[in-house]
Amino acid sequence: MLRLFDYLEEVIATERISQLNNPPMLYTASEIMQELGYPESSLAQEPLDRAMHACAALQIPVNYNFKKVYLFKDGEMITDWQLSELATYLFMINCNPLNPVVAKAQLIFMMKDRV
């Protein structure tokens, strides 16, 4: 019985590591920018760069949380980024807080863990 328990603990630990190495990609940077009311997603590059630098500074593999994707939109191919939950958070807190929607989102992120 004890051996079975040890095996299950190992399976659970392996699954947790797998989830850290392959987090689900929830959003794209262009979707977030659209929700924030930005007319063009070219404004996403600075917060994306900052979010990636934050990941690297925390020694979290960037390629696990940011995936470059190519999409066809209006007959042309565009580059976008799929973001994990962590990447989405880092992206949002690095957007321009002068945008009232961004400021509200940043406040919601900050208050989320306090409630």
How far apart CA 7 and CA 49 sit, in angstroms, is: 41
Residue 59's pLDDT is 86
pTM recorded for the entire structure: 0.70
How far apart CA 114 and CA 51 sit, in angstroms, is: 23
Amino acid code (one letter) for 55: C
Tokens 């992120």 belong to which residue? 109
How far apart CA 52 and CA 88 sit, in angstroms, is: 11
The per-residue pLDDT for range 43-97, each reduced to its tens digit, is 788 999 999 999 899 888 898 899 999 988 788 888 899 999 889 888 988 888 8
**For residues 29 and 2, which has the higher predicted lDDT (pLDDT)?**
29
**For residues 34 and 52, which has the higher predicted lDDT (pLDDT)?**
52
Mean pLDDT on 31-38:
83
| Residue 37, strand partner residues | none
Among 40, 115, 35, which residue's Cα sits nearest to residue 83?
Answer: 35
- Answer whether 32's CB lies under 8 Å from 83's CB: yes
